Amino acid sequence: MLVTVDTGGTKTLVSSFSEDGILGEVVKFPTPKTTSEYVKLLTETLLEEYGGQSVDAVVIAIPGIIKDGVAVWCNNLGWANFDVAKAFKGVLGDAPVLIENDANLAGLAEARSLTKTPPSVLYITVSTGVGTGVISHGRIDANLQHGQGGMTMLEFDGSMHQWEKFASGQAIYKMYHKFGRDIHSKRTWRQIADRISRGLLALTPILQPDIIIVGGSIGVYFDQFIEPLTDILKKNMPPHIAVPKIVQAKHPEQAVIYGCYYYALDALADTAA
């Protein structure tokens, strides 16, 4: 059994996968504000749900910059230099505890779910914040593993801002006082498409991915903004840079959980090799 943890800016999902790759029951709780509260609550949850069972690996996704199991900085949680691997070492016996960025893991899952995995995939999640993951030949790109596309500095409304400060689900709610499910205006969705396009116009010429996959809580409403988003990209992309195919994530809100699963399989296979 593989145990998976998706730590989000607002909520945390805990689940498991059987040997056959079947997703188990998902346990959900609000992500605590402090690391000490997070460690306490997640430890209790893991022991209650999986204590005493045979666990092959635990994968914990964190929304921030991860280096050697340490969450160096989590923008939307305010966590810094949090040694996640140390905090949960041995929590479920001898099962190894693996830590990775949430958008990287979501991108891994979505790239693997395609009929044919392309050489280069850019995954973006538009949720509490904006996260990005680059997948090369079906693996998280080690050279871009620490990239934080949502922190790209861009001009918007006359001044410089981080991309996620004006394009995230949190920013959209602050602007329109509505969640995605409550937005029905085509004009509003065109404005949201414009916000999302700013980062893609900056990243696409650099990365030149074969495909862009959009997930997250705003990604659920992909059909509402994909047409204006594509139009904006085609109009503004340099003529020698192709606009990649853009698709919706197959699991917009559970991609991270599935990514944890694939990441664990890869890690265990690498260890056995």
> 83: domain CATH number?
3.30.420.40
Q: Please list, in sequence order, all residues whose beta carbon lies within 8 angstroms of the beta carbon of residue 5, skipping any fewer than 6 positions away.
A: 12, 13, 14, 42, 46, 58, 59, 60, 61, 260
* Containing structural domain, residue 95: 2-101+253-272
Express each pLDDT in 184-242 by its tens digit: 999 999 999 999 999 999 999 999 999 999 998 899 999 999 999 999 999 999 999 99
Q: Please list, in sequence order, all residues whose beta carbon lies within 8 angstroms of the beta carbon of residue 166, skipping any fewer than 6 positions away.
A: 156, 157, 195, 198
Look at the chain and count its residues.
273
The DSSP 8-state label assigned to residue 150 in this structure reads G
Q: Are residues 147 and 228 in the same domain?
A: yes
Q: Kindly state the average pLDDT of the residues 256-265.
A: 94
Pairing of strands 97-101, 2-7: unpaired
Q: Are residues 184 and 235 in the same domain?
A: yes
Q: Kindly state the average pLDDT of the residues 36-59.
A: 95
Q: Are residues 175 and 229 in the same domain?
A: yes
CA-nearest of 271, 267, 273, 270 to 99 is 267
pLDDT at 147: 87
Q: Kindly state the average pLDDT of the residues 243-257.
A: 90
Q: Are residues 126 and 239 in the same domain?
A: yes
CA-nearest of 84, 50, 31, 12 to 253 is 12
Q: Are residues 150 and 185 in the same domain?
A: yes
CA distances from 251 to 27, 144, 257 (A): 17, 23, 9
Q: Are residues 92 and 162 in the same domain?
A: no
C-alpha of 206 from chain center: 20
CA-nearest of 52, 46, 82 to 64 is 82
Q: Judge contact between 199 and 187, C-beta under 8 A.
A: no
Express each pLDDT in 101-124 by its tens digit: 999 999 999 999 998 889 999 999
Express each pLDDT in 23-41 by its tens digit: 999 999 999 999 999 999 9
Other Cβ atoms closer than 10 A to 137: 11
pLDDT at 258: 94
Q: Are residues 72 and 152 in the same domain?
A: no
127 half-sphere exposure, CB direction, 13 A CA radius: 26
Q: Are residues 111 and 88 in the same domain?
A: no
Q: Are residues 138 and 214 in the same domain?
A: yes
Pairing of strands 120-126, 130-136: antiparallel
Q: Are residues 151 and 268 in the same domain?
A: no
Q: Are residues 118 and 178 in the same domain?
A: yes
How big, in percent rounded to 5, are the helix, strand and coil portions of the chain? Answer: 40, 25, 30
- Residue 76 confidence (pLDDT) above 90: no
pLDDT at 251: 84
CA-nearest of 57, 64, 58, 67 to 142 is 67
Alpha-carbon span 2 to 46, nearest angstrom: 12
Q: How many domains does the chain have?
A: 2
Q: Are residues 63 and 119 in the same domain?
A: no
